[in-house]
A and B are shown apart, each in its own frame.
Chain A
Amino acid sequence: MRRIFVFITLIIISTASLMAGGSLLLKNGTILTVTRGVIPKGDILIIDGLIKQIGENIAPPPGVKVIDLNGKYVIPGIIDSHTHIALAGTNETGDTITAEVNMRDVIDAEDISIFTALSGGVTTIHTLHGSANPIGGQNITLKLKWGKKAEEMIFSQAWPTLKFALGENVTQANRQVSPGEERRYPASRMGVMAIIRRELEKAKNYMAEWDRYQELKKMKILNRPLLPPRRDLRLEALADLLRGKLVARCHSYRADETIEFIKLSHEFGFRIACFEHIPEAYKIAKELAAEKIGISVFMDNWAYKVEAAQGIATMPAFCTQQGVLVSLNSDSNERIRRLFNDAAKAIKYGGLSEDEALKLITLNPAIQLGVDKWVGSIEVGKHGDLAVFNEHPLSSYTRCEMTIIEGEVYFDREAYLREREEAQKAEPKTKAQGGVQ
Chain B
Amino acid sequence: MRAKKICFIFLLSLFLFSTISALKGPTYAIINCRIVSPPLPVIEKGVIIIRDGLIQEVGVQGKVNIPEDAEIIEAEGMIAYPGLINAHTNLFLEPIQEQAQQPGAPPRAQTPAERRPPEPDLLVLKQIKPKKTDLDNFHKIGVTTVLIAPQRGIFAGQSVLINLNGEKIEEMVVKNPVALHVQLVTERGGYPNSLMGTMAYLRQSFLDASHYAEHLSTWSKSPRFLMRPLYNAFLEALIPYVVEKKPIIFTCNNQEDIKRVIRLSQEFKLRTIISGANEAWRVADDLKEAKLPLLITLNFRPPTTSIYATRGEALRRQAEQEIYPRNAAELQKLGLTFALTSFGLSDASAFQKNIQQAIKAGLTAEAALKALTIVPAQILGVDSFMGTIEVGKIANIVLCKGEIFDPKGQVEKVWVDGRLFKIEKAPEAKAPAAFSVAGSWRVTIASPMGEMEMTMELEQEGSSVQGQLISNYGRWEIRDGHLSGQELNFSVSIEIMGQTIEAAFHGRVEKDLIEGTVQIPGGSADFRAIRIPRSL
Q: Are A181 and B112 in contact (CB under 8 A)?
A: yes
A89 at the interface (CB under 8 A from B): yes
Could you tell me the distance in whole angstroms from the C-beta of B24 to the nearest C-beta in chain A?
53
Q: Which of A407-437 contact B (CB under 8 A)?
A: 430-431, 433, 436
- In the complex, identify which listed stretch (A97-105, A190-198, A207-215) lies at the interface while the others stay far away: A97-105
Q: Are B214 and A150 in contact (CB under 8 A)?
A: no
Contact of B194 among A93, A110, A151, A224 (CB under 8 A): A93
Contact of A94 among B191, B218, B219, B226 (CB under 8 A): B191
- In the complex, identify which listed stretch (A26-34, A225-233, A310-318) lies at the interface while the others stay far away: A225-233
Could you tell me the distance in whole angstroms from the C-beta of B528 to the nearest C-beta in chain A?
33
Contact of A110 among B186, B208, B221, B307 (CB under 8 A): B307
A341 at the interface (CB under 8 A from B): no
B193 at the interface (CB under 8 A from A): yes
Interface string of A85-115 (1 = CB under 8 A from B): 0001101111100101111011111101000
Q: Are A108 and B111 in contact (CB under 8 A)?
A: no
Contact of B196 among A101, A180, A227, A233 (CB under 8 A): A101
Chain A residue numbers with a CB within 8 Å of B311 are: 112, 433, 436
Q: How far is the CA of A70 from the CA of B194 in the complex (A)?
A: 49
Chain B residue numbers with a CB within 8 Å of A121 are: none
A89-B194, A101-B194, A433-B315 known; A180-B111 Cβ under 8 A? yes
Chain A residue numbers with a CB within 8 Å of B189 are: 178, 181
Contact of B221 among A88, A95, A98, A225 (CB under 8 A): A225
Chain B residue numbers with a CB within 8 Å of A91 are: 194
Chain A residue numbers with a CB within 8 Å of B195 are: 88-89, 105-106
Q: Are B196 and A89 in contact (CB under 8 A)?
A: yes
Q: Are A100 and B226 in contact (CB under 8 A)?
A: no
Q: Which of B242-259 contact A (CB under 8 A)?
A: 256, 259
Q: How far is the CA of A232 from the CA of B204 in the complex (A)?
A: 7
Q: Are A233 and B207 in contact (CB under 8 A)?
A: yes
Chain B residue numbers with a CB within 8 Å of A100 are: 200, 203-204
Q: Are A150 and B259 in contact (CB under 8 A)?
A: yes
A178-B189, A225-B218, A233-B207 known; A105-B226 Cβ under 8 A? no
Q: How far is the CA of A151 from the CA of B312 in the complex (A)?
A: 27
CB closest chain-A residue, reference B207: A231
Contact of A227 among B192, B203, B215 (CB under 8 A): B215
Chain B residue numbers with a CB within 8 Å of A178 are: 108-111, 189
A393 at the interface (CB under 8 A from B): no
Q: How far is the CA of A101 from the CA of B193 in the complex (A)?
A: 11
B434 at the interface (CB under 8 A from A): no
Q: Are A108 and B256 in contact (CB under 8 A)?
A: yes
Interface string of B302-343 (1 = CB under 8 A from A): 000101000110110000000000000000000000000000
Chain B residue numbers with a CB within 8 Å of A180 are: 111-113
Chain B residue numbers with a CB within 8 Å of A431 are: 312
Q: Are A105 and B196 in contact (CB under 8 A)?
A: yes
Q: Are B192 and A94 in contact (CB under 8 A)?
A: yes
Contact of A181 among B111, B192, B221, B259 (CB under 8 A): B111
Q: Are B197 and A101 in contact (CB under 8 A)?
A: yes
Chain A residue numbers with a CB within 8 Å of B211 are: 228, 230-231
Q: Which of B12-67 contact A (CB under 8 A)?
A: none
Q: How far is the CA of A179 from the CA of B305 in the complex (A)?
A: 29
A137 at the interface (CB under 8 A from B): yes
Could you tell me the distance in whole angstroms from the C-beta of B511 to the nearest C-beta in chain A?
38
Given contact pairs A103-B196, A227-B214, A433-B315, a sample of 15 additional A-B residue pairs in the complex whose CB atoms are under 8 Å apart: A88-B196, A89-B194, A89-B196, A92-B193, A92-B194, A92-B200, A98-B191, A98-B200, A100-B200, A101-B196, A178-B109, A178-B110, A180-B111, A225-B226, A228-B214
List chain B positions with a Cβ less than 8 A from chain A: 108-113, 186, 189-197, 199-200, 203-204, 207-208, 211, 214-215, 218-219, 221-222, 225-226, 256, 259-260, 305, 307, 311-312, 314-315
Jot down 24 A-B pairs with beta carbons below 8 A, ordered by A: A92-B192, A92-B196, A95-B191, A101-B196, A101-B200, A102-B200, A106-B196, A109-B256, A137-B196, A150-B256, A178-B189, A180-B113, A225-B222, A226-B218, A227-B215, A227-B226, A228-B211, A228-B214, A231-B207, A233-B203, A430-B312, A430-B314, A433-B315, A436-B307
